[in-house]
Amino acid sequence: MKLSEWGEAGLIRWLAGRFSGGSGVVRGIGDDCAVLAGPRGKWGLFACDMLVEGTHFSRQAPAGKVGWKALAINVSDVAAMGGLPKFAVVGLGLPSRTDAAWVRRFYEGMARCARKFQVRIVGGDTVRAPRSMVTVAIWGEVERKRLLLRSGARPGDDLWVTGRLGGAIRSGRHLSFIPRLTEARAIAARVPLHAMMDLSDGLLMDLPRLCRAGKVRAELELAALPRHRGVSLESALQEGEDFELLFAVSPAASRKMERWRSGRPRCGLTRIGRIRSGGRGPVVFGIDQKGRKFPLPEKGFSHFQ
């Protein structure tokens, strides 16, 4: 079987079975971060992400924005778990012909992100590579009572999303987005969240992961989906690289959200659907303006297709 047939989801399932954790591992493979033993009253959050030239950014992309994104996507993972980022290490692979000015601008962009979100860069590695690529590993912490997982969604919950979706690549927002760290902490302080994750591969790729983690289904009210101006519904559902937060709350918490969201947070909050009991077959359904329900395909960004 080729990797294109196995797919990213198949690879992750195999890895989760192969590396099941052990002492000090609270939650292993399957969420935005691993959850590890941490300081008293807290859990440690550990994650990493890789950017590759030609896949996640073009050769013409401003180096400072590539540096910003490399750290920001990791900050977004920590935000999705309810925590705060602390430390990061950076692995950078570059062709030997790379201009030194590009490297300086890259690290300057990363430093801007680090200052904004109070992350300390404490090490890493640099190597020669056939094309530009960067891996950032991040360590964060979360209070034990505030830890958020993908697996907590319950039948009857409402689904919410921050910001707007779609058009991230065409507009360049995928290189300059602001991780929803402040928003995640503010929302969690006001209502009990059952589940949360960030949206990186597209709503129709990421929402099924949340559903399968919690053994539930989801219904999306397609007309309610918040989109950037000029963005098609298909793009908002599938394009990815939005790095907004998707979360599930009880109906009672949802009513509280409705009252609180007016003017806060600035990114905007939108209720886009609900969670239903699980079962066999498709896990995500769309509901159109006439109330008709139909299964939605799991389509979005896939690394090995």
Q: Are 285 and 220 in contact (CB under 8 A)?
A: yes
pLDDT in tens, 222-236: 999 999 999 999 999
Class of domain 17-145: alpha beta
Q: Are 32 and 198 in contact (CB under 8 A)?
A: yes
Three-class DSSP category at 288: coil
Question: What's the N-to-C CA distance of the chain in angstroms?
Answer: 13
Q: Are 51 and 57 in contact (CB under 8 A)?
A: yes
Q: Are 71 and 176 in contact (CB under 8 A)?
A: no
In whole angstroms, give the CA distance from residue 108 to residue 88. 15
In whole angstroms, give the CA distance from residue 299 to residue 223. 19
Three-class DSSP category at 216: strand
pLDDT of amino acid 238 = 94
pLDDT of amino acid 253 = 95
CA distances to 4, 53, 68, 191, 241 from 57, in Å = 22, 5, 12, 36, 11
Q: Where are the domains of the chain?
A: 17-145, 149-292
For the chain, residues with pLDDT lower than 50 are none
Tokens representing residue 293 in the block: 């329900």
Spacing of C-alpha 31 from chain mean position:
10
**What sign results for the dihedral spanned by CA atoms 112, 174, 305, 161?**
positive
Tokens representing residue 7 in the block: 């797919």
pLDDT of amino acid 280 = 81
Spacing of C-alpha 145 from chain mean position:
21
Instruction: State residue 240 phi and psi, 5-degree precision.
Output: 85, -170
CA atoms within 13 A on the CB side of 86: 12
pLDDT of amino acid 266 = 72
Compute, in degrees rounded to 10, the torsion defined by CA atoms 40, 43, 44, 48. -170
Cβ count near 289 (within 10 Å): 9
Q: Are 199 and 94 in contact (CB under 8 A)?
A: no
Q: Which amino acid is at 205?
A: M
User: Which fold does the domain 149-292 belong to in CATH?
Assistant: Phosphoribosyl-aminoimidazole Synthetase; Chain A, domain 2 (3.90.650)
pLDDT of amino acid 216 = 97
Which residues are CB-contacts of 172 (< 8 A; sequence separation ≥ 6)?
A: 65
254-258-260 Cα angle (round to 5): 110
**What sign results for the dihedral spanned by CA atoms 101, 119, 168, 301?**
positive
Question: Measuring CA to CA, which residue among 190, 141, 181, 148 is closest to residue 162?
Answer: 181
pLDDT of amino acid 301 = 66
